[in-house]
Amino acid sequence: MKLDTSNIIVFLGPPGSGKGTLSRLCVNRLAWTQFSTGDLCREHITNKTELGKNIDFIIKSGKLISDSLIIKMVEKELEKQFKNQSKVILDGFPRTKEQAVALSNILKASCFNQVKLNIVKLDIPDSDIILRLSKRMICSDKKCQTIYSLSDISLRPKVENICDNCSSNLIKRIDDEIDAILDRLKIYHLHENDIIDFFHNKGHKIITLSVNRPVEDIYRDFLTKLNIN
């Protein structure tokens, strides 16, 4: 039997634009589910799975994993998520037009009668991204992966280098080194318009959030633009 309605939000933005931070606010305050392909990839690497061994080098270099691999991962994971939750945030997927087409097909074949898909584009100049990523720290516990920023007072840990949530040490991501940052930005801009055009042509709502401001302002703007009470 098909379920009623599903709400899917795609956070589309360059690395460091705050997809993960905004997703976690929605999880904590709106009880939505976050599905981050980056977190899932890092979990595979930590658990030294076969897949993890194959993608370790690619992730460190800031390149994208192949569409076929990532689509397979997403198909499997989304199926699981849909069993217990109808409101899902996609953080880091799709990243190419091929992935956008695949998402559209996955949702068409899902267990819901209606799927409301909203694309939220996070807008920020590249120069701010470079500054942000060089100050970003994440929790070293792969189950937690909370994100902190040493450049934003509202996102600093309470105790230096310690995660507020689980007390694990904070670390810098290897792909937050400058060469990898520049590569990741280049790749993002290469695909951004194709993805937006694809969803626009399919008639999905696309909203833009300016994100070089405090996270609470961004969150309020997000709620208003998507009519979430």
Binding residues for Zn(2+), by number, are: 139, 144, 163, 166
Taking CB under 6 A as the criterion, the residue among 11, 78, 82, 95 binding ligand AMP is 95
Q: How far is CA 163 from the centre of its chain?
A: 20
Beta strands in 92-168 (DSSP E): 112-123, 136-139, 147-149
* Interacting residues with ligand AMP between 13 and 32 (CB under 6 A): 15
69 phi/psi in degrees, rounded to 5: -65, -50
Rounded to the nearest whole angstrom, what is the least distance from the CB of residue 70 to ligand AMP in the complex? 4
Taking CB under 6 A as the criterion, the residue among 21, 23, 34, 99 binding ligand AMP is 99
Cα-based torsion angle of the residue sequence 162, 166, 169, 170 in order, rounded to the nearest 10 degrees = -70
Of the pair 173, 209, the CB lying nearest ligand AMP is at 173
Rounded to the nearest whole angstrom, what is the least distance from the CB of residue 3 to ligand AMP in the complex? 25
- Helix, strand, or coil (residue 101): helix
Taking CB under 6 A as the criterion, the residue among 92, 139, 199, 218 binding ligand AMP is 92
Of the pair 9, 175, the CB lying nearest ligand AMP is at 175
- Single out the residue of 118, 145, 115, 186 nearest to residue 45, CA to CA: 145
Within 8 A by CB and 6+ apart from 39, the residues are 20, 91, 142, 145
Taking CB under 6 A as the criterion, the residue among 32, 82, 93, 188 binding ligand AMP is 93
For residues 139 and 163, the answer to whether their CB atoms sit within 8 Å is: yes
* Interacting residues with ligand AMP between 175 and 194 (CB under 6 A): 175, 184
Within 8 A by CB and 6+ apart from 116, the residues are 5, 6, 7, 8
Of the pair 6, 145, the CB lying nearest ligand AMP is at 145
Rounded to the nearest whole angstrom, what is the least distance from the CB of residue 18 to ligand AMP in the complex? 12
Rounded to the nearest whole angstrom, what is the least distance from the CB of residue 59 to ligand AMP in the complex? 4
Rounded to the nearest whole angstrom, what is the least distance from the CB of residue 168 to ligand AMP in the complex? 18
Tokens of 222: 């997000």
Q: Is 58 in the site for ligand AMP (CB under 6 A)?
A: yes
226-to-8, 87, 126, 221 alpha-carbon distances in Å: 12, 13, 26, 9
Q: Is 62 in the site for ligand AMP (CB under 6 A)?
A: yes
> Candidates 57-65, 134-142, 201-209, 217-225 — which segment interacts with ligand AMP by CB under 6 A?
57-65
